[in-house]
Copies of this chain bind each other. A is one copy, B any other.
Amino acid sequence: MNYQELPVEEIIADKTSIPDIVIGRLPVYLRTLKLLHGHGQEVTSSQELGDLLGISSAQIRKDLSHFGEFGKQGTGYDIIYLCRQLEEILKVDGIWPVVLVGAGYLGHALTSYNGFEQRGFRIIGVFDNDPKKIGEDLGHVIVQPSSEIAEVVQKYSCQIAIIAAPTDYAQEVANTLIAAGIQSILCYAPITLTVPKHIRVEYIDPVIHFQHMTFYLEKKCLDE
């Protein structure tokens, strides 16, 4: 087999052979490269990228080496070329449909955010169970009842969902999404979901970050 002629996704023989922690850094590299590109810069180095990100240049080079040789000795990396390669590796050279469950303040914020599309994602459906919210127009989508999740997920072959529902409903929502065919969930509810092991769940909970920070702070609270 001639690897040179295959697209990046075919070169990666075995996804599981690449550490997940490496995959997790690639989006950060991509984000930073796009920022540099936006500033008009055309070339960068592992050293510069590392300085910007607070990590070692060796780590960046080794991470990239899992996927190919993208740089040029003495010069560094062509930003546009490396962006394209990373986008292909991460499969974000297209637009992925995403469904969102929960049309509260957070759901509104997510729906209004206009930074998704340029990075590969579009919210194509918003669902809620509250009759007061159903029918509400959020710009380019209208809130639908949760009972229609399966239909929309299947219509768009959607694999990604966001849970922005109250904690008490999060597990139930996850079950519904998984039954509908969703493969990956980004969960904003402060709870660890129980899911089959082929389903990937990532979590966003600001309080987890705060509580991590306070360990290192000198204690000075209110109320005491």
Using a CB–CB cutoff of 8 Å, the interface residues on chain A facing chain B are: 9, 15, 23-24, 26-28, 30-32, 35, 52-54, 89-92, 94-98, 104-106, 108-110, 112-113, 115-116, 119-122, 124, 156-157, 159-160, 162, 167, 183-184, 186, 190-192, 194, 200, 202, 204-224
Contact = CB atoms under 8 A, between A and B. Distances in A.
Given A108-B109, A204-B206, A207-B115, A23 B215 contact: yes
A191 B36 CA distance: 11
13 contacts: A26-B215, A27-B207, A30-B211, A31-B190, A90-B212, A95-B222, A96-B214, A96-B221, A110-B206, A184-B214, A184-B217, A186-B213, A204-B209
Nearest to A206: B186
- In the complex, the count of this chain's copies comes to 2
A216 B15 contact: yes
Which one of A52, A108, A113, A216 has the highest number of Cβ atoms from chain B below 10 Å of its Cβ? A216
Contacts of A184: 213-214, 216-217
A28 B204 contact: no
A182 to B, nearest CB: 11
B122 A52 contact: no
Given A28-B192, A31-B205, A223-B94, A200 B214 contact: no
Nearest to A27: B211
B210 A91 contact: no
